[in-house]
A and B are shown apart, each in its own frame.
Chain A
Amino acid sequence: MSLPLRVLYCHCAYANVVPKAVKEDVLRQLTESGVAFDAVPDLCELSAKKDPCLAELAGGGPVKIVACYPRAVKWLFSAAGTPLPTDGIEVLNMRTETADAIAQNLLGRAAPEVTS
């Protein structure tokens, strides 16, 4: 039986390398979409601390990871001793892509309007 696709969102705290507007808009669209997902405050911090939840996030089948450069994400997981599987991983880069392009990829539809 194939495992269902999951979404993992990184909020990239402690630095402004991911544009604030992009990460906030991706999170808004995710939370308003009605899909289940995992969100972490900062993958870098979890990697440095070798947080056990990385193993749970890396395992369990295909996942779309919304964070930064794929090479950075790959080696951050590896550095924590929980390497990502070679198949079924897609990294969406909030440093280079727009929030709408990421939401379209994750949710497969046009972005909804801001509701607050």
Chain B
Amino acid sequence: MIPLPNATRPTTGSGAFRVVVFEGTGSRPLEPTTRRELVTALLQKGHAVTVVRSGSAASAITGGTLVVLGRFTDAQPERAEGNGGAVAIHFRDIESAPAARAAEMVDEIRNELQLPKPGGWKPWFPVIDYDRCTNCMQCLSFCLFDVYGVSADKKIQVQNQNKCKTDCPACSRVCPEVAILFPKYRHGPINGDVVSSDDVRREVMKVDISALLGGDIYQALRDRSAKSKSRFAKERDEDRALEERQKCLVKLGEKLDIPAEVFASLPSIDEIRAKADAAAARAAAALSGN
């Protein structure tokens, strides 16, 4: 079997699925254009790729499933094990396979192993910069979609990344420390750019929800709900109540750059009330231990 790099370290129990484009001893190098096409095709299919060349280093592969593609000078077994059985290795000769076909071979192995397909979800979620975060819990209280939680040691945490609403950066705007990043956001410093003192001062970075809604956001929504209810009772003017709520949300949306779809999926007022109470209790419990 060809000598794979660094596959002799102790196992970490890794369950990773990775592809190696092997051009070390025992495999003839690819032409530069072929290598580019192959790596691009693999990345586009969502695979992590390691290009192994003699004389320079790539990362260690200590566990999981490895598909090794190469133009092997000697026949390789279709399957083998590495790192004391921690790495399941699948060899495929790509001598006569164009890039697209080679990438398909990898998909076939993944399908055979019934491993999940990558992609299908734009990875949009908040990332906390703990160098800046003061654990104030405002993000926990603000988010209506249960993205945030509190760790066992009472620290704010992003716990449900996939519940975050795609393209909505609202919680980053309520963080008083500019500690919440969305790496795929258009503008800095929310995208991870350096935070200047101007950013911290700038009004947009410290959106005052009170100014927007005349008090605590949940209280404001509750008040509006109550007002709407009494108005429904007295005037049955549902349209007017709806219009007022929409106006308020449009204003909030413009200020915070919140996509309209997020508003479309807001929980009901009763759910908001329950969530607000639960978040307040969790925040209070966490803060009491600070």
List A residues at the B interface (Cβ < 8 Å).
3-6, 8, 11, 13-15, 17, 24, 27-28, 31-32, 34-42, 44-48, 51-53, 55-57, 59-61, 63, 68-73, 75-76, 78-79, 95, 115-116
Give min CB distance, A89 to chain B, whole Å. Answer: 13
User: Does residue B162 face the partner (Cβ distance < 8 Å to A)?
Assistant: yes
Interface residues of B in 77-120 (CB under 8 A from A): 118-119
Contacts of B250 in A (CB 8 A): none
Contacts of B29 in A (CB 8 A): 34
Contacts of A46 in B (CB 8 A): 48
Contacts of A52 in B (CB 8 A): 12-16, 63-64
List B residues at the A interface (Cβ < 8 Å).
6, 12-16, 18, 29, 32-33, 35-36, 39-40, 43-53, 55-64, 118-119, 121-125, 127-130, 158, 161-162, 181, 183-186, 188, 191-194
B64 near A53 with CB under 8 A, answer yes
In the complex, how many residue pairs between chain A and chain B have their CB atoms under 8 Å apart?
169
* Chain B: CB-nearest residue to A95: B191
CA distance A34 to B193 in the complex (A): 32
**Contacts beyond the supplied A53-B59, A75-B127: 9 A-B pairs with Cβ under 8 Å:** A3-B57, A14-B119, A36-B51, A37-B58, A40-B48, A47-B127, A52-B63, A61-B57, A69-B191
Contacts of B43 in A (CB 8 A): 11, 13, 27, 39-41
Identify B59's interface contact among A8, A32, A45, CB under 8 A.
A8
* Chain A: CB-nearest residue to B43: A11
Contacts of B162 in A (CB 8 A): 48
A36 near B16 with CB under 8 A, answer no
Contacts of A40 in B (CB 8 A): 43, 48-49
Contacts of A15 in B (CB 8 A): 122, 184
A-B contact pairs, 10 of them (CB 8 A): A13-B43, A36-B52, A37-B56, A37-B58, A38-B50, A41-B43, A44-B123, A52-B14, A72-B191, A76-B183
* Chain A: CB-nearest residue to B5: A36
**In the complex where A17-B186, A27-B40, A35-B53 touch, is A41 in contact with B46 (Cβ < 8 A)?**
yes
B59 near A56 with CB under 8 A, answer yes
In the A-B complex, list the 8 residue pairs whose CB atoms are closest, starting with the nearest: A72-B192, A69-B192, A53-B16, A4-B57, A72-B183, A52-B14, A44-B123, A32-B32
A42 near B192 with CB under 8 A, answer no
B192 near A4 with CB under 8 A, answer no
Give min CB distance, A112 to chain B, whole Å. Answer: 9
A55 near B57 with CB under 8 A, answer no
Identify B123's interface contact among A14, A34, A73, CB under 8 A.
A14
CA distance A33 to B16 in the complex (A): 27
* Chain A: CB-nearest residue to B24: A36
A38 near B49 with CB under 8 A, answer yes
CA distance A13 to B183 in the complex (A): 12
Contacts of A59 in B (CB 8 A): 59-60
Identify A56's interface contact among B49, B53, B55, B60, CB under 8 A.
B60
CA distance A39 to B47 in the complex (A): 9
A57 near B59 with CB under 8 A, answer yes
**In the complex where A8-B59, A45-B123, A116-B33 touch, is A55 in contact with B14 (Cβ < 8 A)?**
yes
Identify B183's interface contact among A37, A69, A115, CB under 8 A.
A69
B64 near A39 with CB under 8 A, answer no
Identify A76's interface contact among B39, B127, B194, CB under 8 A.
B127
CA distance A79 to B55 in the complex (A): 33
